[in-house]
Amino acid sequence: MRFIAIGLSLCALLAACTSNQTRGAAQGAGAGAIAGAAGAMVTALVFGGDVGEAAARGAVYGGTVGAVGGAMAGTSQDKREAEARKREEQKTLDALRKKIGDDAFDGAAQLVQCKHEVALAYGKTAARSANTEYAQAGLWVQALTLDDQGDADGTNAVISTMIANGYEDSMDSATQELTATRSQLAEIRSYYGLPKSCSG
Q: What is the pLDDT of residue 74?
A: 52
Identify whether residues 88 and 110 lie together within a single domain: no
Q: Which residues constitute the domain of residue 160?
A: 103-183
Instruction: Judge if 13 and 96 occupy the same domain.
Output: yes
Residue 96 forms part of a structural domain = yes
What pLDDT does 55 receive? 52
Claim to verify: residue 95 and residue 12 sit in the same structural domain: yes
Q: Tell me if residue 103 falls in helix, strand or coil.
A: helix
Length of the chain measured in residues: 200
Q: Which residue has the higher pLDDT, 192 or 134?
A: 134
> Is 53 in the same domain as 109?
no
- What is the count of structural domains for the chain? 2
Q: Is residue 162 part of a domain?
A: yes
- Do 10 and 63 lie in one domain? The reply is yes
Residue 189 lies in a domain: no
Q: What is the DSSP letter of 1?
A: -
Residues 163 and 75 placed together within one structural domain of the fold: no
In a domain? residue 198: no
User: In whole angstroms, what is the distance from residue 195 CA to residue 200 CA?
Assistant: 7
Contacts 24+ apart (CB under 8 A), 192-198: 192/30, 192/33, 192/34, 192/112, 193/30, 194/112, 194/113, 194/114, 195/114, 198/114, 198/116, 198/148, 198/149
Residues 92, 20 share a domain: yes
Residues 56 and 43 in one domain: yes
Q: Are 140 and 42 in contact (CB under 8 A)?
A: yes
If asked whether residues 58 and 133 sit together in one domain, one would say no
**Do 111 and 152 reside in the same domain of the chain?**
yes
3-state secondary structure 120-178: HHHHHHHHCCCCHHHHHHHHHHHHHHHHHCCCHHHHHHHHHHHHHCCCCCCHHHHHHHH
Residue 114 shares a structural domain with residue 61: no
pLDDT, tens digit (0-9, with 9 covering 90-100), for 4-37: 233 333 333 333 333 443 334 334 446 677 888 8
User: Does residue 126 have a pLDDT over 50?
Assistant: yes
Q: What is the mean pLDDT of the chain?
A: 76
CB 55 within 8 A of CB 191: no
